Structure 1
Amino acid sequence: MSNAKGMALPRRGWRFAAPEDDANPSLAEVNASVKVPRGGSWFRRLIAFAGPGYMISVGYMDPGNWATDIAGGAQFGYTLLSVIMLSNLMAILLQALSARLGIATGRDLAQACRAHYPRPVNLMLWVACEVAIVACDLAEVIGTAIALQLLFGIPLIAGALIAALDTFLLLFLMTRGFRYLEAFVIALLTVIAVCFAIQLAAASPDVAAVLGGFVPSSAVVTNPQMLYIAMGIIGATVMPHNLYLHSSIVQTRAYERTDGGRRDAIRWATADSTIALMLALFVNAAILIVAAAAFHGTGHQDVAEISDAHRLLSPLLGLSIASTLFAVALLASGINSTVTATLAGQIVMEGFLRLTIPHWARRLLTRGLAIIPVVVVTWIYGERGTAELLVLSQVILSMQLPFAVVPLVQFVTDREKMGRFVVPRPVALLAWLVAGIILILNFKLLYDTFAG
């Protein structure tokens, strides 16, 4: 490209786009609101950037994970630990790419899609993402309602309605500042981790069997029932809306908007998300290990309901508070995961449609869409139907993954859009490999489902 005088001009990518082409900053009300030190020790800088990684890790240990991990551990023992590990490694890579996209381009994934794809494609991607958020919301509503019932005896339908009140909690925290929101999330994550550490110690699993479960098995692909649960685990672990969320909330840090500042921010944001996702790996693995140790070898392989797991844990583990810890962690998980779904919904709607509505209205809308199936299923089938609905919601999430993963990988491997922040070729090949694995597993699941 050259101008009238024959002088070379930079290629027109996102980093050279005219200001009028750019959307408003993602989450404009908190964009660049968290100060980061310009110097100091590495620990101070890590703490300054710590937060977004833990917020996206919430989606990797939400109530949907509990249903799939419990079902997987009870039915197949430790075999699906390899799936948890694989999906967590995929998540670490994809979230690192998501953070890179947001920091390098100043756009979240939804804004990037809007800038690149034609309107019909964008509408399709937006609908797919909204379906994923509703499925995620469905899992959160069910999980929160079940936790309220286990702890306080509140009926599931009433618990689902109470869950809609999380809107006001989020609004309160956001008015205090983004750091308060992050602190709240990290506090509840700590509660979840402590609860499962105690249960894991009480379960006293066979260490050799646990380590063997991290070795991949061909049965995961050849056994349709195991593949269904495995896809649920992947859908519950690698969350589509988290890719949109992470690309936005990393921009809350007030790093220097220069190449040097962005490079530094990418490094610290990647460290933050990697450390946080290792915590998610521990929690997910702990849920499956506890389920395998308590149910698989004791004649309770058919345990799939969270309420059944709660009822059986204390007597099977020989720890009187095991069931209470289980319910407390579930409640913390349900409350926590509503925060990320709320922000993701706002980011997706603003990014794809440039449509801004009050946060409370957006949350009540998605909450309403999630509460209706819970109320209907509970009314018709009772509590027994909620577990199947939970696992189904996670499979739906898994089916939506390609619609977020493929655009993300396409963008971060495009030098015109990323400039000097384009990912290295080995990382690009690995990213496309991960996208390919997700696509293949989805097609296999579709075939097995519709072919019976």
Structure 2
Amino acid sequence: MIKNWLKNIGPGPLVAAAFIGPGTVTMCTLAGVQFGYALLWAMSLSVIATIVLQEMSSRLGIITQKGLAQTIRAEIKSPVIKGLAVFLILSAIVVGNTAYEAGNISGGVLGLEAVFGKQTIDVGLFSFNIFSVLIGLLAFILLYIGNYKVIERVLVALVILMSLAFFITAILTKPNFLEVLKGAFVPTYPQESIFTIIGLIGTTVVPYNLFLHASLVKEKWHDKGDLKYARKDTVVAVILGGLVSMSVIVSSAAIQTQDINNAADLAKGLEPLFGAFSKYFLAMGLFAAGITSAITAPLAAAYVACGCLGWTSHLKSTRFRSIWMFILVFGIVSSSLGIKSIEIIKFAQVANGILLPVVAGFLIWVMNRTSVLGVYKNSSRQNILGLAILAITVFLGLKSILKVFEVF
């Protein structure tokens, strides 16, 4: 039975690994510290939205055996709209993932530093963080091997490690389970919580995951009969990912002080309350979250760029490798030197704010095209859910853009 289950694990855990990065951990930490269990419902909503959109993405990949970027490029007939769509997608995903890669690697470094302390080496005028280089090197080796099964197995192992680490940390805080359930299913809006709610949903419903999932399922499955495995894989993995995020919120809610700014502070804050073990569990989780996102972000960008530009998206092709190499090397250098690319990240946030409803809209449009999916196109129920989520993403997109420009 276990062997059967392992055999049918697909890209779902990779999608979960992609959305639970250091940014998500930090956002969940701040939500727990500032609002306790009150915003757990935002994660429940995020999980439902992610399952609906990711299921569409995986169905598209299996039926068409093409990525989402390839399909959008092929289905849009107007040269102007096609050019605009390709520009938006490339800007948000490739530039955005380049900007965020340093944060992914830095998140993994924080986990290691919580246990081993800071380790640097001086080379001329520069001081390099050894852990940044090691994490980047590990990601480079896995991606360069270019074997989907190897990448999948490593990431599944890291997701399991991350899940156990955060679950155990949450249990150590001895939460009130009735209050946790209430927070997860009864929406409340504490004062000044709107941007945190937007952040929690925005870090879970991720545009690049829709491209990544459609591209990865065709590496794993090639037959229409595999749709049932893909659905189960998506549902289980996304729920697991949501529970991991909730565990971080629950853990951080136990901290009495407001002087917590990131997950590294959370690790230090938990130690006097629950002993050194909680620090080690949290450190392992943060390391796993950082390295999984450091692998999936360049991978997603390479799939998107190749799909948009009409290049082959084979894992071992030169163009495919050159894209993820550039993003990974940029992340390693930025993280090891401590560079904060604020303006690039701001641009990425704006682009992602615009892109999420655009991609969700394109996805729903494509999923209703009989010429693309035949009898496997969206049902009425799937369309209603999809359009409701689209409305939420439009709202979030506008809010995230306004937030970046500090309108509110």
Paired residue secondary structure (1:437): helix
Aligned to 1:150: 114
Paired residue secondary structure (1:219): coil
Q: Distance in 1 between matches of 2:23 and 2:348?
A: 7
Check 1:390–1:127 CA distance in 2 against 1; reply closer, same or farther (3 A cut). closer
Deviation at 1:155, TM superposition (A): 4.8
Summarize deviations over 1:365-418 as a string: whole Å, max 9, x none.
113444566567x468xxxx99xx999987875554223222111111223322
Q: Distance in 2 between matches of 1:445 and 1:359?
A: 31
Aligned to 2:142: 170
Q: Distance in 2 between matches of 1:279 and 1:360?
A: 30
Runs of 4+ in 1 over 6 A off after TM superposition: 389-396
Aligned to 1:339: 295
Q: What does 1:234-383 align with in structure 2 at a 5 Å threshold?
A: 234-256=201-223, 262=224, 264-293=225-254, 295=255, 298=256, 300-316=257-273, 318-355=274-311, 357-370=318-331, 374=335, 378=338
Aligned to 1:71: 30
* Unaligned segments of structure 2, at least 5 residues: 121-127, 312-316
Paired residue secondary structure (1:237): coil
Paired residue secondary structure (1:450): coil
Q: Distance in 2 between matches of 1:435 and 1:241?
A: 16
- Contact map agreement 2:170 2:251 (CA 8 A) in 1: yes
Deviation at 1:149, TM superposition (A): 2.2
Aligned to 2:389: 434
Q: Tell me the percent identity.
A: 25
- Contact map agreement 1:102 1:108 (CA 8 A) in 2: yes
Deviates more, 1:438-447 or 1:76-85: 438-447
Q: Distance in 2 between matches of 1:155 and 1:286?
A: 29
Aligned to 1:406: 361
Aligned to 1:88: 47
Aligned to 2:398: 443
Q: Distance in 2 between matches of 1:392 and 1:195?
A: 33
Q: 1:59 aligns with which of 13, 18, 33?
A: 18
Q: Distance in 2 between matches of 1:391 and 1:310?
A: 28
Deviation at 1:424, TM superposition (A): 0.4
- Contact map agreement 2:57 2:363 (CA 8 A) in 1: yes
Check 1:379–1:348 CA distance in 2 against 1; reply closer, same or farther (3 A cut). closer
Q: Distance in 2 between matches of 1:308 and 1:240?
A: 29
Q: Distance in 2 between matches of 1:434 and 1:59?
A: 20
Q: Distance in 2 between matches of 1:285 and 1:390?
A: 26
Summarize deviations over 1:147-199 as a string: whole Å, max 9, x none.
2322322358514344432343214653xx42222221111111112212221
Check 1:336–1:160 CA distance in 2 against 1; reply closer, same or farther (3 A cut). same
Q: Distance in 1 between matches of 2:6 and 2:280?
A: 32
Structure-2-length-normalised TM-score: 0.86
Is 1:138 aligned to 2:95, yes or no?
Answer: no
Q: What does 1:108-119 align with in structure 2 at a 5 Å threshold?
A: 108-117=67-76, 118=79, 119=82
Deviation at 1:53, TM superposition (A): 0.9
Check 1:83–1:266 CA distance in 2 against 1; reply closer, same or farther (3 A cut). same
Aligned to 1:36: none
The amino acid of 2:205's aligned partner reads V
- Contact map agreement 1:232 1:391 (CA 8 A) in 2: no
The amino acid of 1:269's aligned partner reads A
Deviates more, 1:107-116 or 1:399-408: 399-408
- Contact map agreement 1:80 1:230 (CA 8 A) in 2: yes
Q: Distance in 1 between matches of 2:320 and 2:24?
A: 26
Paired residue secondary structure (1:321): helix
* Unaligned segments of structure 1, at least 5 residues: 1-40, 257-261
Paired residue secondary structure (2:96): helix
The amino acid of 1:69's aligned partner reads C
Q: Distance in 2 between matches of 1:333 and 1:394?
A: 20
Deviation at 1:92, TM superposition (A): 0.7
Check 1:423–1:144 CA distance in 2 against 1; reply closer, same or farther (3 A cut). same
Aligned to 2:124: none
Aligned to 2:125: none
